[in-house]
Amino acid sequence: MSDNQKELLANIAPFGLRMQADLKERIKAAAERNGRSMNSEIVATLENAYPAFSKEFLEELSFLDQIDEIAAKLERVRAEAEEIARAREEVKKVDRAISKADDLLKKPKK
């Protein structure tokens, strides 16, 4: 073991772990099959079960958040567009009413 590895190990705080005897035996057997200590076997298993997120993965998660934000904005824009369309229809109705009133005012009285 290199001095660097020894230094890294010296900076890792010990962690007590209680487990059932049969689980301990299974870990011991797996460690022997893999040529590791029980501690190394447990750490390798935990690393496999809880992998560190890569920078790329975190960027992808951030991108998905951005997509969700854009989707929410798009929904608000669509709702506003629908409101504008309803308002335009109301304006058209008012224009038609004004036009009819103008026509009535322009007709000669009998």
Q: Which CATH number fits domain 1-51: 1.20.120, 1.10.1220, 1.20.140, 3.40.50?
A: 1.10.1220
Q: What pLDDT, on the 0 to 100 scale, is given for residue 1?
A: 63
pLDDT band at 110 (very low <50, low <70, confident <90, very high): low
The CA distance from 107 to 110, in Å, is: 9
C-alpha separations of 15 from 18, 42, 43, 105 in Å: 10, 12, 11, 94
What is the residue extent of each domain of the chain?
1-51, 54-110
pLDDT at 109 over 80: no
Q: What is the pLDDT of residues 29-74, one digit of tens each?
A: 999 999 999 999 999 999 889 888 778 888 888 888 899 999 999 9
